[in-house]
Amino acid sequence: MIEIFVVRHAVTDWNTERRFQGHSDIPINGAGRSELAKYRLPSSWESALLLASPLIRARETAQILSGREPEIEPALMEMNWGLWEGKKYTDLKAELGEILTKNEDRGLDFRPEQGESPRDVCDRLQLWFEALVNQKQKRIVAVTHKGIIRAMMALAFDWEMMGKAPVKLQRYAGHHFSISQDGQLRNIAMNLVLKENLSD
């Protein structure tokens, strides 16, 4: 069995402005760095393999939380929002109206224009999980994005992304999952508190 402790990146300007980020390489902002500096990985995860999405907001979050450079894992890249990246939901709603509503009602098959669906993200994660089973490393910290964590919830909770999410995700928290020998993702605990940074 493999255990994974998953953390979302700290806040960026586009998060604050409520813009879709996707593959856009937006760094965390000053407020995000200041808040993140209050935390560290839990002691039991400090020596685990540290992985991060290729995007700078995840890589920088991993470095601040752990004090070391992460290895890059492409499977942890945020969902591709295509032509909607940089746009606000409110603007898209005003522009697309019922078209957007019907798209959202497709759950896992929702797809931004020229982007990925959540099902696409689940499929790429599932391939990664199955590859991990054959590796020696059994404990992994993965710093990633909200879309990836939601996809992991879809897999672990058998959630079709219809209606309310099984868990409301907290920003500065970790989410503990396991991967069985057959590559199946299971939830252990969500919204685990990160360790307070006492080094200052």
Name the residue among 57, 35, 48, 24 with its Cα closest to residue 145.
57
Query: What pLDDT, on a 0 to 100 scale, did the predictor assign at position 198?
Result: 72
d(CA 167, CA 181) in angstroms, rounded, equals 25
Task: Please state which CATH number belongs to domain 2-79+118-196.
Answer: 3.40.50.1240
CB–CB of 30/199 below 8 Å? Answer: no
Task: Put residue 108 in one of left, alpha, beta given phi > 0 → left and psi -120 to 50 → alpha.
Answer: alpha
Query: What pLDDT, on a 0 to 100 scale, did the predictor assign at position 137?
Result: 77
Domain ranges across the chain: 2-79+118-196
- Say what the pTM is: 0.94
**Structure confidence by residue, pLDDT tens digits, 138-189:** 999 999 999 999 999 999 999 999 989 999 999 899 999 999 999 999 999 9
Helices (H), 8-88: 13-16, 30-36, 56-66
The distance of Cα 150 from the centroid of its chain, to the nearest Å, equals: 7
Query: What pLDDT, on a 0 to 100 scale, did the predictor assign at position 199?
Result: 66
Query: What pLDDT, on a 0 to 100 scale, did the predictor assign at position 200?
Result: 53
State the helix-helix crossing angle for 146-157 and 118-132, rounded to 10 degrees. Answer: 70
Low-confidence ranges of the chain (pLDDT < 70): 199-200
d(CA 101, CA 94) in angstroms, rounded, equals 11
Single-letter code of the amino acid located at 137 = Q
